[in-house]
Structure 1
Amino acid sequence: MKKWTTRGLIFSALFAGIMIAMSYLKFILPFSAVPITLQTLAVMLAGSILGARYGTLAVLIVIGLAAVGFPVLGGRGGIAVLVGPTGGYIFSWPFTALLVGLFAQRMKQNKYTFVKLLLVNFIFGALFAYPGGVGWLAYNTGMESLSKALTAGMWPFLPGDFVKAVLCAAVVSAVWKVYPIERILGRDSGVWLDEEKATV
């Protein structure tokens, strides 16, 4: 198993701070307990730029801080927030960061890099979070209708998620040109190690 690098740990902490800052940029919907925030964009960026291991760590740092009461989720924290209506989305973030990171650290840069990043982040960084998020929202709020749960927890957010995926793909494509993901992972550019495949 490849060792953790100091550079990767520092970047994980940095992206945890970015995620916390972006959680304050939110818009409350009058018909839903789920706000529109930029936290999902931060998760996408963490997975895409840091890879699976360090991207997941960045998200876990934020969730851990929230669990012990620090107001890192839009000014809120504590177990009550984590098991509240949005808890399903929050606990999906480590898995979305992991999946995005696994694909990102194996992605070869070429003329299709932007499109590949867009698809990976929209599918695994956004859509993947909805089954658990909507399911827990419905259970937590007592919704008996799937259509109501989807209206409150999914349909209004899809256009914004696509825009976030576009922004993430644009930012990461630019970042990779000057700071390839291999530098975060502590390996030479162009070398793909089998041991990275199963590590988080």
Structure 2
Amino acid sequence: MNQKQLSMAIHSAVFSSLIILGTFIRIPLGPVPIVLANFFVILSGLFLGPLWGSLSVLIYLLLGALGLPVFSAGGGFAVFLGPTGGYLLGYPAGSFLAGLISRINPKRLTVLLLSAGLGTAVIYLLGVPWLIWRISAATGEGVSLARGLLIGMVPFIPGDVLKITAAAIVARSLNRLVSHQ
């Protein structure tokens, strides 16, 4: 392993830890809590790029799947089958997409904002349908897309706009300090 790979592996481990810490900074809100974890998920892609960023998220998910209580609902594979499972599965895709797009110009704020916004949208794209499916299965009644959006996305938008903005600003500062390319 060369120096750059070692550095990226260490950064990935740090981001896995930050995502775990972000999970414990939460506000309960129905079946899906507001957490700071998604800020670190997106930031991992913006700073580490698509490969290492999504790897840091996959490490977090693996730790949770193995039973460590790193998710807002605890730990174990069963958490993936709960209402937050789709969001968790969306995390690596969101990090990857944010990292991929940000490589266009990782020091330009507008590129980072767009990257973070699209990465967050991917998390919703996987999370909301999963939430609808889980609520429908639990209640025995179909949940409409509009209702699913009201439960699983709309309340989170103001906070996510702040997280997207903060992630872009932090990533721009970090990317100016450290070059991963």
Q: Same fold (TM over 0.5)?
A: yes
Map of 1:25 onto structure 2: 25
Q: Deviations over 1:115-167 (max 9, x none)?
A: 221121012x2112112211110111114222211110011111111110100
| In structure 1, C-alpha distance between the alignment counterparts of 2:101 and 2:155, rounded to whole Å | 27
Match of 2:151 in 1: 152
Q: Quickly say closer, same or farther: Cα 1:122–1:88, change in 2 above 3 A.
A: same
| Percentage of matched positions with identical amino acids | 35
Using the TM superposition, give the Cα deviation of residue 67 of structure 1 relative to its aligned residue in structure 2, in angstroms. Answer: 0.6
Structure 2: distance between partners of 1:54 and 1:108:
15
Q: Which structure has more helix as a fraction of its residues? A: 2
Indicate conservation of the 8 Å contact 1:20/1:74, yes or no.
no
- Contiguous gaps of at least 5 residues in structure 2: 137-141
Partner Cα separation in structure 1 for residue 93 and residue 150 of structure 2: 24
> 2:106 & 2:17 partners in 1: Cα distance?
28
Number of equivalenced pairs: 173
CA RMSD in angstroms, aligned pairs only:
1.5
CA contact (8 A) 1:105 1:181 kept: no
Partners of 1:13 and 1:131 in 2: CA distance: 26
Taking structure 2 as the reference length, what is the TM-score of the superposition?
0.90
Q: Per chain length, whose mean CA-contact separation is higher, i.e. which structure has more relative contact order (CA < 8 Å, sep 6+)?
A: 1
Q: TM-score, normalised by structure 1?
A: 0.82
Q: What's 1:119 paired with? A: 114
Partner AA of 2:84 in structure 1: T
Task: Quote the residue 2:8 is aligned against.
Answer: 8
The residue correspondences of 1:72-83 to structure 2 (distance < 5 A) are 72-74=70-72, 76-83=74-81
| Partner SS for 2:69 | coil
Q: Which amino acid aligns with 2:146?
A: S
Give the residue type in structure 1 aligned to 2:49: G
Cα deviations by residue, 1:83-126 (Å, 9 ceiling, x for unpaired): 100100100111111111112233263xxx11221121012x21
SS in 2 for 1:106: coil
> Residue type matched to 1:46 in 2?
S
Residue pairs, 1:32-181, within 5 angstroms: 32-74=30-72, 76-107=74-105, 109=107, 113-123=108-118, 125-142=119-136, 143-181=142-180
Give the superposition deviation at 1:69.
0.3
